[in-house]
Structure formats: structure tokens, C-alpha cells
């Protein structure tokens, strides 16, 4: 029951090749859509039915997003794929690009057809050299086969698709910063509304989706929205590509149905390293608030279950911590990330992320003050919900989660000026 | 706003009418409900980055930024609820944690938006116990000082550069709290509007370099005035301490300067305390200059002029600055007419007086309408530098999609996309003639030339355009075939149904034309009265080596005269060579007066500062001269009386570009191997501007000193950058300039500005020049 959607070529030799993709039925959906000239509204209806929610982190229903595009308005439209994948812990899109690039390409062509875009970009994280090359090679093959370019398969539909390599800024994964970056500007999020569907790349209506979201499309249209939905659970259709890392034996990427119990996923990943007790799990990328290990062992991996536990499924990046991990150090590292990656344009994030980091750093260095924990609570409250983009929330979430579940450990650092974990507590 | 299109919202319990989609902050501003803000500025794009304007909106769980929240019907907003105030205080605290709080040593102290808002929203003790950010300060030129540690990253200056100044000079580099404002590669801001960032910066990160550390806001008084360096007539506030103008700020006037000010109008005040400011009357006795008292000086002036006149008023000539006030011009004219002279002019940089002149040349329409144009054809001008805020309006039109086409003898550095049809100074006239031919003109010079398709097409577009404008500027006026250029331009405009406009000289060119500061019946114009030297001259507000079209000829004629009386705010070597009496003149900010700006708006002003030393307002000096020379009608007690009499004389005269084009005018500029292009540089336009050290230190001023020629010509002549080149013009002394090859100059031409040091030796602004290595 694994690898049924985005990673379905994985069993094949050279899974990234056109041959491997053909062997699993690749590009057949595209052919059918173009031959039958399937009505875009029918495609959108099918995607809505599938319950596919955006895999970039926010979980917004993909079909609904596509429906925002007004196809009858004149002028250019764009399709953009977000392969920036910068959230610590997340490395699933990398494997889709590496092992099944053609499926992403097919998904993008179908999406472009649906929204009426003649040009598309795939924005790939700057450090992804190998995946970028695989994707470029696949593009070349697809062009040769006539799947891209002008008058695709004689249908009259034109679509040019280009890869765009980023330059190492996490913020360029935020969709509007990504668009600015493609436009050649400094990657800074735009204020929304207007949303990209109205005012996107070069000011034109644009659909931007995550790699996994787009790569799911061919299978959804091949096997039907209902089939996909039924793979998962209520409110979380389909399978999900989880990237699991941390103190486990077999970190990696696993495509499994939504709603799979966490403990099964942990088992697939080889269980805890050295058999140590699970201390905590960050279930959806570093911005997701941490969940204590015991609680996590009872949860299933789907949007609702994780949300009810006070965190979020996010991009499906699962970071597992054991009892050797000091939570202060973990938070210090994460806060440093958001501090470094804040784009700097809006006040609460620019100033707040640095403040958060400096306090946590001080606590970790044994220089914490009694008022620090309350200050941290207060600062996160003044960042979250008040910034231009969600990076502010992403920086606040981990702090809030840690203080909620592991406050004692922080208090210990402040009181004793040393670490509870290394002290053997 | 019509009834149907208005909606009602509620703010702090008050019902407000608003246009749907208007931003909440604008609706509140209009109603006088204050919401704190830093990044928002009504003339700039919205960036919503400071988060200071957060307010509570009913049914929204989190506070929303008022600057980017559009209103909709029935919306209920509270700007001072606990949620809103907590949010605003939160933003304030964040803004202050890395701010140095060095108010006591900060120039912005006392007029700082951050300081003001912090008083209301800040807390008295900081909870921030970490190290603060410190940022190195780049040198961005002579006008704007940087102290970027104080920056709050509102990006107003960045947006100003991109959206208003049209050059992305300042930008934000770095992420997070490493983000800093700078020029990326350290260099000086090259905009002619750069000083506006001083006003825009809410804190003391960008301040006025010439002003800094001189005074505190609360030590100064504010007086209104009208800027005196171009036809825009920007409204200004002078800030003074102990009667000394320490800085100049714009005063909002949407129709004229909006909320902006050109650097020229902002920094020229420095000249008021120039070292060569004339503080006492000077009389030349036996070839020696002597300071004297007013009475003796005025008597010497009256006597000198009377002697030079003898019994022939035609022996006198008057050369008056187009930036003099209506009152000064009126009395000067009255004096000259009273002495029986019809030789009077304010068009001092004009080269050609053939043909019927426009009745009262002006812009041709309101300044604000420049930005509504669909097509603008500009002949012989660089509005960006000539009248920076007119240039700004034209740029706005271009940004909205207007087509702008320049006909100039050299390529301009523009800050928007425009077509530039460049040809050497002679072919340039023919280019305009081509367009006229395409417009159907069939007489005169057009007969000898062939029209190209692009001329026909431009004319077609000009004709089809809804709002089209043909503007004629200073560079055309300085051309020896101006009469012809003007005639061609008028014919093109007429045939296309386009408006015709003139970018008239000085701050009061329109006022001077309305008053008729032009030759009377049988009188001589500015060129003629120097080509045919008079025995006596009256100079008002000019320096003859710099403010005449042909300084060699002018200085020569003045030298030969028996008596030259000059009213001047400054001493100058040329004046001291040619004049016999120099009377210290109050500068524009020191005297009451009236200007008619380029759109014909009458703007009065009072003296903001007392005149320096013993200087006196021009109207007082001329009044006494009139009385001393026994001319009746000079008994005025106040400048208002002078103004009223002058306005009475104008009656309902109004600006009017109408004239009778004379198609028979010939092209007179002979072909030559090299023809001069004598641009008037932005920071050379008048004696004050030339004495403002900060302006003279700008790249615009420094670049104007070079002799520029096409690289091909340079190669042919064996010149390289930096060579010292001796320039000769017929009937002029030689002068030496440094060469700079520049592809903006077409082959066969030499760009060598007028009104720059060294150019006094030269003759006309156009015409043949020969070059040799010095
Ligand atoms: C700071 C930040 C970083 C983000 N990084 C990524 C990313 O690397 N990849 C991604 O797909 N979405 C990322 N997102 C989410 C995108 O903004 C956007 O919601 C997503 O690409 C939409 O695609 P989906 O609807 O298919 O999920 C990020 C959002 C934020 C606020
Ligand atoms: S929240 Fe941070 S990353 Fe997002 S726009 Fe504001 S400063 Fe930039
Ligand atoms: S004024 Fe609204 S966010 Fe700055």
C-alpha cells in the first residue's frame, strides 16, 4: 500500500526515465485529456472530489484554488510549481524530482491546460543540483516527445515549461516571494490580497502549487477522484509523501495513505535509534509545534488528527527526537533558522525572530533570566498573525510548542544554568 | 463620489462615508481619525511592512493593517480598542528594540515620527536586553546624510527611488535584521529629487547633510515662500533660527509641487550666506571698487545712467532676470520707459529673435495636466533637469503609458522609456522640419527635405492622441534658429490638434512676459542691445558672464558702456569688471514679491528672512532710483502698492502661446565640422544656485564642467578622456576644458555647457567651435 501516487515508478530501473514512467501509464492521461478536449471544469471537479489538499504546508484544497482562475479573462496566465522545499526536515519534493520528474511534468501540463496557462516555471531549491539536472533532462525528453511546446500532440494547446534554480533563501518558498524571485527581484513576500490567482507572476493570474500536489494530478485523473480520496481519511484525501528524520534507524521518504498511524510510520522508518525512548515529534516541518512522544504514538498522520493535537501536518516532514535531545538546543537551532531566514521586510518578523533567537540562545548558554519564558510567550503572541507572510507564524509556532510541552526543561536551564538532558535528568 | 457609489463604515463609533475599496487609512485620515503609521505614504505604493497601523475590525480575529485594508459597506473598525492598542504597542516595541534611541544627538529629534509615536505607544522601559544592531553608514553624496543604525526599514526611501525619482538608487540588501538600506555599491544619489528622502524618512536615518547639527526643530520658526529657481514655483517652508534660513522644506500644493521639492529649490538657500554675498553698495571710482552708503551709491547710479542717456533714451538698455519678481520687473520697466528706453528684455539666453513672438509664452495648460497626456513631443529640452518637477509629471504620464518623444541635439539620461531622436544641432532643426512636413507644412525650409516614415507615423499618432502636447524648451530657445524651430513646432501642434507649450525661463518668465519685459516700439531685444552696444545698462539679478546667451559679446558691450548699474545679491569678477555701481539686492527669500509660474498661477510671498547686510529689496532700490531721476509715479510705500499697480496694468492679460508663424524663416546655422551644444546645467541656472556648495558638489554639477564629444570624433581628433582642450569660437576668447568622450553626443557636435566656470569667455550656445589640445 505504499508508493501508489507520486513515487509509483520507484520499483523500476532508472525510475526517473521516460521509459519507467511510460511503464506505469505515464502521459496517458495527458493524451486522453488533450484528445477528448476534456472540459477544464470537469478536471477541476475531479480534483475537488479527490480531496487533494496543497502539499506545500497550508493544506488548501487544490481544486478550489484552480477554480479561482477566470479563464475567460484576456491576457497571459502562468502556472508555477514550488519545488523550493526549504523547511527544515522536508525532503520529499527532492525525491519526486529525482525519481519521478515526468509525473510532475505531466501534472503541470494538465494543470496548465486546466487554467489556460501557456507558460510555466518550476522553482527548484538552489541546493538541489542533482534533482534540478534530472528535472531538466526530463523536460528535454518531454519536449522531444511533443508533450511540451507548441500545439501539444496536435491539440492546439501550447505550453512552455522552464526550470528555475533558486539561490538558497528559505523565504523564496513562500509563494509570493517566489514569484518576486522569478521576476528577478529580491525574494520578499507580497502583501495579500490580492492573491496570485488574481495578481501573480508579472502581475498576471497565476496558480502556484507544491511539487507533490501537482505530481498527484495524473494519478487522480487516471484512477478518479474517488479512488484517491478513499486512499485517505475524512478531510485528508489520498496518500502523502512523508519525510521522516531524527533519531531513528532508517530516515527517508515514505508515501503512505493519509491517516496511517504514526507508530506504523515510525516502524517503516526502522524505529527509534538504539531503542531509545521517543521524547517528542515535530510532525510537519520545523514550523509545526512539537508534540510529546507518548501523545504522538497515539495519533494518525492526517490533517485533522495532528491539528487536534495542537500542531499541523504541514509539509509532512516528521522529525523524531529522543531523550538525548535537549529541547532548549533544539529550539535554539530552529529559532536561529527563522532568524536567519526572515526576509526582513515586516517589523514583527524582522525584529521578533532575532529577539526570540537571542533569548533562547542566552538560556542555552546558561544566561537565562527568570522573566525570559514569559517574554518569549509574549513576543510570539506579537509576531503570530501580524506579519505579511506566514514566516512569522512559522517562527512563533516552535517556541509556543516547546514552552507548552517542555517548559520545565527551559526553567531548569534558567534556574541551574545548565542542561537537564546532559545532567542526566 | 456619487451617492450610489458611497458606502458607510463605522470607525470608533463614528459613521464615515467612503468610496468602496478605498483603504481604511485614507478614509480615517480624511475624517481626522489618526492611525499611527510609518511605511504608508500617500504618494508611494503600499508595502504594509511596519505594522504600526494595526486596527481591530469586527469579526476578524486578528488586527489588520489599515493601510492595506480596503473598506466595505457596514465594516466596523476600532482604532483604539484593547486589541488595536496592544497590537500597535507591540509593533512599536519591535521597532524600538534595535533602534539606538539616540534622540539627544539625532538631527531628527523633535520632529521624528518614531519619537512622536513612541511617546503615545512606547513603554518607558525596554524589555530588550540583547545587543543592538549597528549599521555602517554609506556616503550617498553631498545632499543626504545617512545614519542607518536608526533606520526602521519602512522602505519609503526605496519606494521613492523606484517610483518617484525613477532611479532605483536606494535598496534593501540583506535579510532579517541584517537588512540595511543602501546604494549596494556605494555611490552618490544622482537624482535631482534626492532630497525628498529627507522628508520621507520618518526617523533620523536620512537627514540633510548641509543642515545637520545646526538647529533643533523647536528652535526654528517656519515661514512660507515660493521657490525661485524654475517656473514650477514650488511652495516651500523656510525654517529659520535667529532670522537665518537653515533649511527649506516643501509645502504641500497638489496643483504645483504636490508634496515634493527639487534639490535645487531645497538647497539653494545656502547661497544666502555665500562668501561673495554683496553686503554693502559698491561704487567704482577711478577703476577701484569702494564700499559706500546707499545714498551715495544710488546717486552715483542715477547720475551715471542720466549721463549715459544724454538726451537719447535709446542709449540705455535693461537686462532683467526672468526670476525677478513681478514688482521688481514692473518698476525696472517703468524706470526704463521713464528714461525713454524701449530696450528691455528678460529672454537673456535666447539666441534668435526672428519672427513674431508668442504673446505670453507659457506651459500651455496646468502643470498637473502634464501627467494626463497621451503623447508628448519635447523639442529642445530636458525637463528632468530643467524643471525637475515638470519632468516628474511627464515621467508620471510615461509610467501610465504615454508616449514621449524627444527632439534634441544630444541624448538625455532619462528615467523612463522614451524615444529620443538625436541629431547634431543643425540636423536637429531639419528633424523637426521633417515632422512639420509630415504635418503638411509646405513652405520654407521643409521644401528641401525628405520626410521619413517614422516622421509620418509620429505625426499620425500625435494627431490621433486624445491629449497631445508639443513642448519647446530652453535648448531650442538658445538655438540660432529658434524662430524657425518655434514656428515648426507651432505648425506641427496646430496641424495635429495638439497643445503647444513653452518651458519658459526662470521663476517668473510668465510674469515677465505678461508685464511686457520685452522690447517696446522700435526697441532692442536682449541680443540686439548687446550686438549694438548701448552707453548705459541696467542689470537686474544677473551675472553677465553666466546669464547671457553670448557672454563674450555681452561682456564686451558692457565693458564699453559708460555706465552699468547692477542690482545684484552677489559680487562677481565679471560684474566687477563691467559695472560701475553694484547695489546689494535682497534675494528672493528675503523680499516680498509675486511670481507667475509656468502655468500662469499668481503666487505671492513675503520676505522670510531679513536681507543680508545692507541689501535691500529690489522694489525699494528701483523706487529710489526712479525718484532720484525725477521720474513721476515712484512713490510706493509697500510692495503691495507696487503689486497692485502692476496687476492693474496687466488687466486681464493672460498667458497666450499664440503667434503668427512665419514659414519663410531660413535655417541660418551654417554647417561646420563641429557645432557647440550649450546646455544650461541644472545647477547653473541663476546666481543663487551657482553658489550653493552642496548643489555644486553633486554629480550633475560636476559633470557639467566637461567638454563632451562623440567617441568617434574624439578618436579622429586624437583626444582621450582627461585631455585639456582649448576651445575657440569666432568672436570669443579661448577657454580650456577637460575632454570626456560621450556617445550621448552625436558626431559633429561638442557639448559644452553655458553658465559654467570658464564659459564666460565663450560666445553663443550653438555655432562653430574649433578644438585643439591645450
Ligand atoms: C516561509 C514559507 C516558506 C514556504 N516554503 C514552501 C516550500 O518550500 N515549498 C512549498 O511548496 N510551499 C512552501 N510554502 C507554502 C507556499 O507559500 C504555498 O502555500 C504553496 O506553495 C502552495 O502550494 P499548495 O497549495 O500545493 O500547497 C511556504 C510558505 C511560507 C510562509
Ligand atoms: S513575516 Fe518575515 S519573511 Fe514574511 S514578509 Fe514579514 S519579514 Fe518577510
Ligand atoms: S502603515 Fe500600515 S503597515 Fe505600515
Q: How confident is the model at residue B1 (pLDDT cuts 50, 70, 90)?
A: very low
Q: Are A149 and A161 in contact (CB under 8 A)?
A: no
> Quick check: A358 and B130 CB within 8 A?
yes
- Name residue, grid cell 553677465: B544
Q: How far is the CA of B123 from the centre of ligand 3 (A)?
A: 20
Task: Return the minimum-mean-pLDDT range out of A19-33, B199-213, B617-631, B679-693.
Answer: B199-213
Contact partners, residue B183, CB within 8 Å, separation at least 6: B138, B140, B169, B170, B171, B189
> Quick check: B48 and A358 CB within 8 A?
no
pLDDT (0 to 100) of residue A425: 54
- Rounded to an integer, the average pLDDT of B287-305 is 97
Q: In whole angstroms, what is the distance from residue B316 CA to residue B538 CA?
A: 8
Can you count the helices (H) and strands (E) in chain A? 17, 11
CA distances from residue B484 to B351, B375, B377 in whole angstroms, order as listed? 12, 23, 17
Of B626, B605, B561, B613, which Cα lies nearest the Cα of B585? B613
Residue B743 distance to chain A (closest CA, Å) = 29
Asked if B54 is an interface residue toward chain A (Cβ–Cβ < 8 A), one would say: yes
> Quick check: B130 and A359 CB within 8 A?
yes
pLDDT (0 to 100) of residue B4: 62
Partners of A282 in beta bridges: A319
Residues B107, B113, B115: CA angle, nearest 5 degrees: 70
| The C-alpha cell that represents B169 in the structure block | 538608487
**Which positions in chain B touch A339 (Cβ < 8 Å)?**
176-177
| Ligand 2 pocket residue status of A343, Cβ below 6 Å | yes
Q: In whole angstroms, what is the distance from residue A280 CA to residue A284 CA?
A: 13
Q: pLDDT of A257-299, one tens digit each?
A: 999 999 999 999 999 999 999 999 999 999 999 999 999 999 9
Q: In whole angstroms, what is the distance from residue B536 CA to residue B565 CA?
A: 8
Task: Using the predicted structure, report yes or no on whether residue A168 has a pLDDT greater than 80.
Answer: yes
Asked if B50 is an interface residue toward chain A (Cβ–Cβ < 8 A), one would say: yes
Please provide the average confidence, as pLDDT, over all residues in chain B.
Answer: 95
CB-CB neighbours of A408 under 10 Å = 11
pLDDT (0 to 100) of residue B3: 53
pLDDT (0 to 100) of residue A233: 96
- Name residue, grid cell 532575532: A354
Ramachandran region, residue B15 (left: φ > 0; alpha: ψ -120 to 50; beta: rest): beta
Give the DSSP letter of residue A57: T
Q: How far is the CA of B54 from the centre of ligand 3 (A)?
A: 7
Please provide the average confidence, as pLDDT, over all residues in chain A.
Answer: 96
A168 backbone dihedrals φ, ψ, rounded to 5° = 95, 20
Q: How far is the CA of A392 from the centre of ligand 1 (A)?
A: 14
Instruction: Give percent of chain B with pLDDT exceeding 90.
Output: 89
Q: How far is the CA of A355 from the centre of ligand 3 (A)?
A: 21
pLDDT (0 to 100) of residue B448: 80
- Rounded to an integer, the average pLDDT of A333-358 is 97
Q: In whole angstroms, what is the distance from residue A397 CA to residue A381 CA?
A: 10
Task: Using the predicted structure, report yes or no on whether residue A11 has a pLDDT greater than 80.
Answer: yes
Ligand 3 pocket at CB < 6 A: B 37-40, 48-53, 65, 67
Q: Are A175 and A188 in contact (CB under 8 A)?
A: no
- Rounded to an integer, the average pLDDT of B372-388 is 98
Contact partners, residue B638, CB within 8 Å, separation at least 6: none
pLDDT (0 to 100) of residue B727: 98
Q: Are B83 and B39 in contact (CB under 8 A)?
A: no
Task: Please give the span between the terminal C-alpha atoms of chain B, in angstroms, as a whole number.
Answer: 68
Of A254, A290, A293, which Cα lies nearest the Cα of A270? A254
Instruction: Give percent of chain B with pLDDT exceeding 70.
Output: 99
pLDDT (0 to 100) of residue B213: 83
Of A208, A213, A172, A218, which Cα lies nearest the Cα of A77? A208
Task: Using the predicted structure, report yes or no on whether residue B445 has a pLDDT greater than 90.
Answer: no
pLDDT (0 to 100) of residue B185: 66
| Ligand 1 pocket residue status of A243, Cβ below 6 Å | no
Q: How far is the CA of B55 from the centre of ligand 3 (A)?
A: 11
Of A45, A116, A120, A119, which Cα lies nearest the Cα of A82? A120
* Higher local confidence (pLDDT), B444 or B489: B489
Residue A317 distance to chain B (closest CA, Å) = 25
Q: Which ligand is nearest to the CA of A384?
A: 2
| Ligand 2 pocket residue status of A345, Cβ below 6 Å | yes
Pick the residue of B37, B175, B181 with the most A CBs within 10 A to test the interface with A by mutation.
B175
pLDDT (0 to 100) of residue A2: 83
Q: How confident is the model at residue B407 (pLDDT cuts 50, 70, 90)?
A: very high
Nearest CA in chain B to A361: B130
Contact partners, residue B553, CB within 8 Å, separation at least 6: B530, B531, B731, B763, B764
**Which positions in chain A touch B99 (Cβ < 8 Å)?**
none
Asked if B95 is an interface residue toward chain A (Cβ–Cβ < 8 A), one would say: yes
- In B537-592, where does DSSP find H-type helix? 551-560, 573-578
> Quick check: A344 and B68 CB within 8 A?
no
| Ligand 1 pocket residue status of A390, Cβ below 6 Å | yes
Task: Please give the span between the terminal C-alpha atoms of chain A, in angstroms, as a whole number.
Answer: 41
Q: Are B586 and B567 in contact (CB under 8 A)?
A: no
Instruction: List the single residue in A339, A385, A386 with the smallest CB-CB distance to B176.
Output: A339
| Ligand 2 pocket residue status of A171, Cβ below 6 Å | yes
Contact partners, residue B179, CB within 8 Å, separation at least 6: A343, A344, A345, A350, B153, B172, B173
- Name residue, grid cell 529689496: B617
CA distances from residue B490 to B442, B461, B508 in whole angstroms, order as listed? 14, 17, 23
Instruction: List the single residue in A345, A347, A358 with the smallest CB-CB distance to B94.
Output: A347
Pick the residue of B131, B177, B180 with the most A CBs within 10 A to test the interface with A by mutation.
B177
| The C-alpha cell that represents A344 in the structure block | 526582513
- Rounded to an integer, the average pLDDT of A181-190 is 95
**Residue B460 parent element (H or E):** helix B453-464
Q: Which of A173, A177, A392, A397 to mutate to test the pocket of ligand 1 (most atoms within 8 A of CB)?
A: A173
> Quick check: B130 and A352 CB within 8 A?
no
**Which positions in chain A touch B171 (Cβ < 8 Å)?**
186
**Residue A105 parent element (H or E):** helix A101-115
| The C-alpha cell that represents B47 in the structure block | 508595502
Give the DSSP letter of residue B666: P
pLDDT (0 to 100) of residue A399: 98
Nearest CA in chain A to B173: A186
Asked if B62 is an interface residue toward chain A (Cβ–Cβ < 8 A), one would say: yes
Q: Are A177 and A167 in contact (CB under 8 A)?
A: no
Instruction: List the single residue in B46, B51, B63 with the smallest CB-CB distance to A346.
Output: B51
The closest-lying atom of ligand 1 relative to the alpha carbon of residue A389 is: 31
Of B691, B299, B326, B341, which Cα lies nearest the Cα of B513? B326
* Percent of chain A that is helix, strand, coil (3-state, to 5): 45, 15, 40
Instruction: List the single residue in B65, B87, B177 with the smallest CB-CB distance to A351.
Output: B177
Which residue's CA is minimally distant from atom 22 of ligand 1?
Answer: A209
Q: In whole angstroms, what is the distance from residue B7 CA to residue B26 CA?
A: 14
Q: In whole angstroms, what is the distance from residue A126 CA to residue A85 CA?
A: 10
Residue ranges of E strands in A89-169: 119-124, 160-165
The closest-lying atom of ligand 3 relative to the alpha carbon of residue B50 is: 4
Amino acid at each position: 500500500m505504499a508508493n501508489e501516487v507520486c513515487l509509483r515508478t520507484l520499483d523500476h530501473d532508472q525510475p526517473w526515465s521516460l521509459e519507467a514512467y511510460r511503464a506505469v501509464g505515464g502521459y496517458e492521461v495527458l493524451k486522453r485529456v488533450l484528445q477528448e478536449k476534456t472540459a477544464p471544469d470537469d478536471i477541476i471537479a475531479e480534483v475537488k472530489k479527490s480531496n487533494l489538499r496543497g502539499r506545500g504546508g497550508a493544506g488548501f484544497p487544490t481544486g478550489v484554488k484552480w477554480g479561482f482562475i477566470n479563464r475567460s479573462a484576456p491576457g497571459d496566465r502562468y502556472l508555477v510549481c514550488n519545488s523550493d522545499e526549504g523547511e527544515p526536515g522536508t525532503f520529499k519534493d527532492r525525491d519526486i524530482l529525482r525519481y519521478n520528474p515526468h509525473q510532475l511534468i505531466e501534472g503541470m501540463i494538465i494543470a496548465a491546460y486546466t487554467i489556460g496557462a501557456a507558460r510555466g516555471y518550476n522553482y527548484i531549491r538552489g541546493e538541489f543540483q542533482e534533482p534540478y539536472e534530472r528535472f531538466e533532462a526530463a523536460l528535454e525528453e518531454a519536449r522531444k516527445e511533443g508533450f511540451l511546446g507548441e500545439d501539444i500532440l496536435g491539440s492546439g494547446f501550447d505550453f512552455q515549461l522552464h526550470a528555475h534554480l533558486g539561490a538558497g533563501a528559505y523565504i523564496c518558498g513562500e509563494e509570493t516571494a517566489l514569484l518576486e524571485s522569478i521576476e528577478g527581484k529580491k525574494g520578499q513576500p507580497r502583501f495579500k490580497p490580492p492573491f496570485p490567482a488574481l495578481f501573480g507572476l508579472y502581475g498576471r493570474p497565476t496558480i502556484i502549487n507544491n511539487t507533490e500536489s501537482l505530481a498527484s494530478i495524473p494519478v487522480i485523473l487516471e484512477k478518479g477522484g474517488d479512488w484517491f480520496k478513499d486512499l485517505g481519511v475524512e478531510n485528508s484525501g489520498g496518500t502523502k509523501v512523508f519525510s521522516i528524520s531524527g533519531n531513528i534507524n532508517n530516515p527517508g521518504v515514505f508515501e503512505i495513505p493519509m491517516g496511517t498511524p504514526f507508530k506504523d510510520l515510525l516502524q517503516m522508518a526502522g524505529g527509534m535509534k538504539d531503542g531509545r525512548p521517543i521524547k517528542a515529534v515535530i510532525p510537519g516541518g520545523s514550523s509545526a509545534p512539537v508534540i510529546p512522544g507518548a501523545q504522538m504514538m497515539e495519533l494518525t498522520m492526517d490533517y485533522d488528527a495532528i491539528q487536534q493535537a495542537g500542531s499541523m501536518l504541514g509539509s509532512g516532514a516528521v522529525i523524531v527526537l529522543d531523550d538525548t535531545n535537549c529541547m532548549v538546543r533544539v529550539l535554539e537551532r530552529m529559532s536561529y533558522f527563522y532568524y536567519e531566514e526572515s526576509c526582513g521586510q515586516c517589523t514583527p518578523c524582522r525584529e521578533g525572530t532575532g529577539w526570540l533567537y537571542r533569548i533562547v540562545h542566552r538560556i542555552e548558554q546558561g544566561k537565562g533570566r527568570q522573566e525570559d519564558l514569559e517574554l518569549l510567550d509574549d513576543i510570539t503572541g506579537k509576531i503570530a498573525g501580524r506579519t505579511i507572510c506566514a514566516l512569522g507564524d512559522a517562527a512563533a509556532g516552535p517556541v509556543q510548542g516547546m514552552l507548552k510541552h517542555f517548559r520545565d526543561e527551559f526553567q531548569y536551564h534558567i534556574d541551574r544554568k545548565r542542561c537537564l538532558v546532559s545532567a542526566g535528568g | 463620489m456619487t451617492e450610489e457609489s458611497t458606502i458607510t463604515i463605522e470607525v470608533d463609533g463614528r459613521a464615515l462615508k467612503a468610496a468602496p475599496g478605498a483603504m481604511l487609512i485614507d478614509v480615517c485620515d480624511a475624517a481626522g481619525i489618526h492611525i499611527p503609521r510609518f511605511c504608508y505614504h500617500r504618494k508611494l505604493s503600499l508595502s504594509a511592512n511596519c505594522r504600526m497601523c494595526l486596527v481591530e475590525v469586527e469579526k476578524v480575529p486578528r488586527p489588520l493593517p489599515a493601510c492595506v485594508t480596503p473598506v466595505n459597506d457596514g465594516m466596523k473598525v476600532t482604532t483604539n480598542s484593547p486589541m488595536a492598542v496592544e497590537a500597535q504597542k507591540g509593533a512599536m516595541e519591535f521597532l524600538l528594540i534595535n533602534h539606538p534611541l539616540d534622540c539627544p544627538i539625532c538631527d531628527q529629534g523633535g520632529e521624528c515620527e518614531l519619537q512622536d509615536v513612541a511617546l503615545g505607544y512606547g513603554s518607558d522601559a525596554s524589555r530588550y536586553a540583547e545587543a543592538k544592531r549597528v549599521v555602517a553608514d554609506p556616503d550617498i553624496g553631498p545632499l543626504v546624510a545617512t545614519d542607518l543604525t536608526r533606520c526602521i526599514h519602512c522602505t519609503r526611501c526605496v519606494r521613492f527611488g523606484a517610483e518617484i525619482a525613477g532611479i532605483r538608487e536606494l535598496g534593501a540588501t540583506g535579510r532579517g535584521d541584517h537588512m540595511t538600506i543602501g546604494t549596494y555599491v556605494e555611490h552618490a544619489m544622482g537624482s535631482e529629487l534626492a532630497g525628498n528622502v529627507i522628508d520621507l524618512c520618518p526617523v533620523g536615518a536620512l537627514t540633510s547633510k548641509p543642515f545637520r547639527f545646526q538647529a533643533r526643530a523647536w528652535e526654528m520658526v517656519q515661514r512660507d515662500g515660493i521657490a525661485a529657481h524654475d517656473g514650477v514655483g514650488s511652495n516651500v517652508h523656510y525654517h529659520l533660527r535667529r532670522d537665518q534660513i537653515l533649511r527649506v522644506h516643501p509645502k504641500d500644493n497638489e496643483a504645483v509641487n504636490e508634496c515634493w521639492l527639487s534639490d535645487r529649490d531645497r538647497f539653494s538657500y545656502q547661497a544666502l550666506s555665500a562668501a561673495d554675498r554683496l553686503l554693502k553698495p559698491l561704487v567704482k571710482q577711478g577703476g577701484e571698487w569702494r564700499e559706500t552708503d546707499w545714498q551715495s551709491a544710488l546717486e552715483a547710479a542715477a547720475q551715471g545712467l542720466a549721463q549715459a542717456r544724454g538726451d537719447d533714451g535709446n542709449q540705455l538698455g535693461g537686462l532683467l532676470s526672468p526670476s525677478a519678481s513681478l514688482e521688481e520687473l514692473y518698476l525696472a520697466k517703468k524706470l526704463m520707459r521713464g528714461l525713454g528706453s524701449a530696450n528691455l528684455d528678460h529672454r537673456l539666453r535666447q539666441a534668435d529673435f526672428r519672427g513674431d513672438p508668442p504673446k505670453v509664452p507659457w506651459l500651455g495648460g496646468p502643470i498637473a495636466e502634464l501627467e494626463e497626456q497621451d503623447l508628448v513631443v519635447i523639442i529642445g529640452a530636458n525637463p528632468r533637469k530643467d524643471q525637475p518637477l515638470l519632468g516628474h509629471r511627464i515621467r508620471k504620464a510615461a509610467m501610465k503609458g504615454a508616449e514621449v518623444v524627444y527632439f534634441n541635439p544630444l541624448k538625455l539620461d532619462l528615467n523612463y522609456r522614451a524615444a529620443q531622436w538625436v541629431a547634431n544641432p543643425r540636423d536637429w532643426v531639419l528633424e523637426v522640419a521633417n515632422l512639420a512636413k509630415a504635418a503638411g507644412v509646405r513652405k520654407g525650409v521643409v521644401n528641401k527635405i525628405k520626410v521619413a516614415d517614422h516622421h509620418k507615423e509620429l505625426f499620425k499618432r500625435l494627431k490621433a492622441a486624445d491629449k497631445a502636447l508639443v513642448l519647446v524648451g530652453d535648448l531650442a530657445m538658445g538655438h540660432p534658429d529658434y524662430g524657425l524651430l518655434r514656428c515648426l513646432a507651432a505648425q506641427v501642434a496646430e496641424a495635429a490638434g495638439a497643445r503647444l507649450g513653452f518651458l519658459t525661463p526662470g521663476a517668473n518668465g510668465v510674469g515677465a512676459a505678461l508685464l511686457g519685459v520685452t522690447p517696446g516700439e522700435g526697441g532692442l531685444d536682449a541680443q540686439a542691445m548687446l550686438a549694438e552696444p548701448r552707453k548705459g545698462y541696467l542689470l537686474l539679478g544677473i551675472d553677465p558672464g553666466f546669464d547671457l546667451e553670448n557672454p563674450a559679446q555681452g561682456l564686451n558691450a558692457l565693458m564699453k558702456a559708460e555706465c552699468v548699474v547692477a542690482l545684484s545679491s552677489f559680487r562677481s569678477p565679471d560684474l566687477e569688471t563691467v559695472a560701475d555701481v553694484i547695489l546689494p539686492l535682497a534675494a528672493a527669500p528675503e523680499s516680498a514679491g509675486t511670481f507667475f509660474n509656468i502655468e500662469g498661477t499668481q503666487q505671492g510671498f513675503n520676505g522670510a528672512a531679513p536681507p543680508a547686510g545692507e541689501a535691500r529689496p529690489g522694489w525699494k532700490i528701483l523706487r529710489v532710483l526712479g525718484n532720484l531721476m525725477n521720474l513721476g509715479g515712484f512713490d510706493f510705500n509697500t510692495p503691495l502698492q507696487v503689486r497692485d499697480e502692476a496687476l492693474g496694468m496687466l488687466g486681464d492679460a493672460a498667458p497666450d502661446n499664440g503667434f503668427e508663424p512665419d514659414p519663410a524663416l531660413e535655417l541660418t546655422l551654417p554647417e561646420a565640422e563641429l557645432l557647440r551644444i550649450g546646455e544650461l546645467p541644472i545647477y547653473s541656472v541663476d546666481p543663487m544656485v551657482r553658489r550653493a556648495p552642496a548643489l555644486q558638489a553633486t554629480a550633475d554639477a560636476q559633470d557639467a564642467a566637461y567638454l563632451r564629444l562623440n567617441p568617434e570624433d574624439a578618436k579622429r581628433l586624437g583626444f582621450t578622456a582627461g585631455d585639456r582642450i582649448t576651445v575657440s569660437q569666432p568672436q570669443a576668447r579661448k577657454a580650456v576644458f577637460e575632454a570626456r568622450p560621450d556617445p550621448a553626443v552625436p558626431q559633429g557636435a561638442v557639448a559644452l555647457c553655458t553658465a559654467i566656470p570658464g564659459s564666460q569667455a565663450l560666445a553663443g550656445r550653438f555655432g562653430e567651435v574649433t578644438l585643439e589640445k591645450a
